[in-house]
């Protein structure tokens, strides 16, 4: 690419050369609207220049600048611009002696694409606000002691907020707030980042050029990652699981009269722990017989990891009977799935000889 500010590539209008078009197709894989991060995420990054009271530098980079008119975003058009490395540096207004001031550093474009004969502006002669190239870096100067100023023109991206401290002799890194990837206050409130693929290379290497919130597909692992603030983490698949259980016996058990223990346990669902809460929806049937004279009050108890969750309506049984119903349980995150259904017998006085059971449970992620 040539060595000065390039005329913007206005989609669907204007002119472009093959080099512009190739670069555009490369960077469209990054942010669709906003600053293209670049390999080290420093595209169009604003930094303080030490040794001067109010001077900043803007690194080379590329960006998609949304087209807008009187503050209304045009969702179908945007401008593609490039600032070649190493970028440019320029002065802000002299600091006030009495109050701090907020200035904005913005990238903005001219929407007069049909009338303006765009020209390349050499970096050495760059002046903030010069739209000869069809786009420019500009300064929105705030008022002394006032709030962050509003941007007074259309089709822009805010690159940084700079706090010019009263009576200062030099800006510091703490005075520059990087807002290149912040949607609030920009000409477009959304940033789109499509999936990048990582064939034959590490996910970390690809993540360096992916925007925050973007996806990376590792073809070697057949796994999807999402880019966070600093690195990429795998996207966790949280499935819905269907489970079933059947049982029978002729053991002469006595019904359970308290949680725990093996007596009276007729249905069991077991599974590993996961790092998110789950909900289990159960249905069950339990049939049993008992010897004469061993009658009593019985019901179905549902426990999850030894914690009582639910009890069915109690019934007075003599020679045996059936308990059937549905229930719901909570399975906390990082806790193994251990959902058991017991035949409860008040006072433990109800004996049963032969029994059968079947149950089903659907486990649903709760996060």
Owning domain of residue 337 = 241-365
Q: How many domains does the chain have?
A: 3
Four-residue CA torsion sign, 184, 188, 189, 195: negative
Q: Could you tell me the pLDDT band of residue 96, with boundaries at 50, 70 and 90?
A: very high
| Whether 158 and 303 share a structural domain | no
Band (pLDDT 50/70/90 cuts) for residue 128 is very high
Q: Which residue has the higher pLDDT, 278 or 252?
A: 278
- What mean pLDDT is reported for the chain? 80
Q: Is the dihedral of CA 20, 23, 25, 27 positive or negative?
A: negative
The three state secondary structure string of 196-237 is: EECCCCCHHHHHCCCCCCCEEEECCCCEEEEECCCCEEECCC
Pair (228, 286) in one structural domain: no
Give me the mean pLDDT over the 26-54 stretch: 74
Most confident of 37-41, 215-219, 305-309: 305-309
pLDDT value for 149: 93
User: pLDDT tens digits, residue range 230-246?
Assistant: 888 888 778 899 999 99
Q: Quick check: is 33 in a domain? A: yes
Q: Read off the pLDDT of each residue in 295-319 and give the average, rounded to a whole number.
A: 85
Name the pLDDT band for 137 (thresholds 50, 70, 90): very high
Q: What pLDDT score was predicted for residue 11?
A: 42
- 206 and 307, same domain (yes or no): no
| Closest by Cα among 109, 103, 105 to 64 | 109
CA–CA separation, 287 and 21 (whole Å): 74
Q: What is the pLDDT of residue 237?
A: 77
- Residue 249 and residue 123 share a domain: no
Contacts of 9 (CB under 8 A, 6+ apart): 16, 20, 21, 24, 79, 80, 81
Q: Model-level pTM? A: 0.51
Q: Check whether 130 has a pLDDT greater than 60.
A: yes
Are residues 134 and 221 both part of a single domain? no
Q: How confident is the model at residue 187 (pLDDT cuts 50, 70, 90)?
A: low
Average pLDDT score over residue span 311-335: 88
The verdict on residue 327 lying in a domain is yes
Say how far apart CA 324 and CA 295 lie, in whole Å: 19
Q: Is residue 186 part of a domain?
A: no
Cα four-point dihedral sign 340, 346, 347, 350: negative
Omega within 30 of 0 (cis) for the link into 134: no
Structure tokens at 340: 């058991």
């Amino acid at each position: 690419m040539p060595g000065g500010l390039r005329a913007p590539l206005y989609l669907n209008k204007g002119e472009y050369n093959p080099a512009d078009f190739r670069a555009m197709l490369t960077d469209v894989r990054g942010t669709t609207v906003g600053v293209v991060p670049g390999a080290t995420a420093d595209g169009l990054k604003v930094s303080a220049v030490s040794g001067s009271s109010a001077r900043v530098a803007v690194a080379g980079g590329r960006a998609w600048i949304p087209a807008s008119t009187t503050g209304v975003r045009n969702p179908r058009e945007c401008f593609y611009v490039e600032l070649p490395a190493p970028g440019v540096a320029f002065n802000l207004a002299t600091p006030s002696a009495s109050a701090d001031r907020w200035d904005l550093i913005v990238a903005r474009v001219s929407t007069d694409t049909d009338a303006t004969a765009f020209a390349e502006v050499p970096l050495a002669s760059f002046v903030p606000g010069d739209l000869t190239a069809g786009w420019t870096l500009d300064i929105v100067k705030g008022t002394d002691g006032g709030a962050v100023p509003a941007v007074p023109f259309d089709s822009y991206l805010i690159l940084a907020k700079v706090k010019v401290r009263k009576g200062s002799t030099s800006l510091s890194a703490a005075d520059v707030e990087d807002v290149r990837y912040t949607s609030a206050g920009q000409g477009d409130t959304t940033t789109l980042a499509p999936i990048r693929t990582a064939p034959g290379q590490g996910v970390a290497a690809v993540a360096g050029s992916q925007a925050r919130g973007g996806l990376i597909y590792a073809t070697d692992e057949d796994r999807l990652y999402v880019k966070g603030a600093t690195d990429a983490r795998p996207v966790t698949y949280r499935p819905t699981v269907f489970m079933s259980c059947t049982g029978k016996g002729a053991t002469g058990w006595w019904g359970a009269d308290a949680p725990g223990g093996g007596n009276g346990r007729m249905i069991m669902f077991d599974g590993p722990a996961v790092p998110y809460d789950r909900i289990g929806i159960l249905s069950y049937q339990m049939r049993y017989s008992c010897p004469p004279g061993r009658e009593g009050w019985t019901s179905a108890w549902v426990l999850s990891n030894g914690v009582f969750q639910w009890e069915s309506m109690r019934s007075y049984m003599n020679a045996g009977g059936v308990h059937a119903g549905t229930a719901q349980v909570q399975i906390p995150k990082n806790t193994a799935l251990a959902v058991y259904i017991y035949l409860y017998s008040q006072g433990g006085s109800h004996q049963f000889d032969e029994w059968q059971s079947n149950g089903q449970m659907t486990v649903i992620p709760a996060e």
